[in-house]
Structure formats: C-alpha cells, structure tokens
A and B are shown apart, each in its own frame.
Chain A
C-alpha cells in the first residue's frame, strides 16, 4: 500500500457526533487526497492537499473539513456525522510531476469503513 495507513479501519458512530479519520504516509509525497466510495458512484473526491496547510475542496466537500499540519498526516473530519456519510473512505497520495503537476499515479490506502447510525 505504498506506505499509507488509515485509522481507524472500521468505525460505527451515531448521527450528530464528530468523527475524525486519519491518513498517515511514510513516502514524503506532497499531494494527499480523501475520497469516498459508494455503490453506483465510484470514488468521489472530498478534499485534497498540495502541501502542509494547503488544502482545497473536491466535488463532495459539504459536511467535511480537513487539516494537514505536517507532511505525513492528513485528517478528515465530519463535524456532525449524518447517515448520508456512511461510506468507505480512501486516502491517496501522489507526487506532482512534469511541468503541469499532473498525470502522476495516485497510491491508495486500505480504506476506512464508516457506518453512521
């Protein structure tokens, strides 16, 4: 898994509670991403980071926030979990390449299964 760990791997929580998922990498990659995977939707980008303290929104960012205080850790927080946030969450990392900073392979973590009751 290219030196990527996610914690916890499984979590059950109740509606309205805050939840934080952690992604940790040992590869010193600059870019980190959070995706959610849902049946019929594939993977959708929630937020991404292009450096320490540099983050931006993806296509499904509502209800989520992120923080990156050091290169190796990227945290995803659900401020007040809802049942619609039940999903499998994947972290990914990459290093920008070329002049356009794109086209690089993303390496994915093992995922976190979140159930919001």
Chain B
C-alpha cells in the first residue's frame, strides 16, 4: 500500500516571502503525484501533477513542484506568496494502473500574513 506524509501541519509565512511545503511518499510501485489546494469552505482544486518526464512541474498560481525519486519527495514551492494563497494544501498519490484512486496526505495549512 502507498502512503503520503506531509511533515508540516501549519506553515506561517509573510507576504512576498518564498515558501516550501513538504511531501514525502511511500510506495512499492510507480505512482503519479498531485498537489491540490482547498480554500475555506470549498472543494479541492488541482494545482499541479507529475506523471512522467521533466521532474520540475509548473502549476497554476505560480506554484511549482519537483519530483525526487531517490528521496521519494514531491515538495511544493512558490517564490513569492500572496495573501490569497492562504489555504490548505494536500499532496496525493495514485498508483499506476490502480484505477485513479488517490491517497492523500493529512494536509498543510498555509497562512500568509502581512
């Protein structure tokens, strides 16, 4: 079975500062990797995903993530955050050939302060 670990439950950061949200996964088979964002009282929205190819993936709203197979990580980064980035961020994996079922991490609450 696969699992996802998000090491930080909360990350406070000042506006215009860079941020990194960490995600590590465990799986005995090949996986696809996703980052979703959830704004208050809303459903989840895809930020970006890694399927294959270049290990640096760019997503919406200026976010990017890098797949590191040797460290089994998929950390999310943004060089300069805005107040509107305040939300909860979820890392998820799906197993190749596994029917597209997602296994989520426990989430990281990003709070951007002035």
Contact = CB atoms under 8 A, between A and B. Distances in A.
Contacts of B106: 40-42
Nearest to A109: B43
A50 interface: yes
A48 B43 contact: no
A48 B107 CA distance: 22
B43 A1 contact: yes
Contacts of B17: none
Interface string B18-49: 00000000000000101010000111111001
A57 B101 CA distance: 11
Contacts of A59: 103
Contacts of A105: 34, 46, 49
A22 interface: no
Interface in B47-63: 49, 51
A85 B104 CA distance: 19
A31 B99 CA distance: 9
Interface in A82-117: 90, 92, 94, 96, 100-111
Interface size class of B (residues with CB under 8 A): 20 to 34
Interface string B84-114: 0000001010111111111111110000000
Given A33-B101, A42-B104, A48-B101, A103 B42 contact: no
A41 B4 CA distance: 11
B100 to A, nearest CB: 4
24 contacts: A31-B99, A33-B102, A35-B104, A42-B6, A42-B106, A42-B107, A43-B90, A43-B92, A43-B102, A50-B99, A56-B99, A90-B44, A92-B44, A101-B97, A101-B99, A101-B100, A102-B98, A103-B32, A103-B100, A105-B34, A105-B49, A106-B44, A106-B100, A108-B36
Interface of A: 1, 4, 31, 33, 35, 40-45, 48, 50, 56, 58-59, 90, 92, 94, 96, 100-111
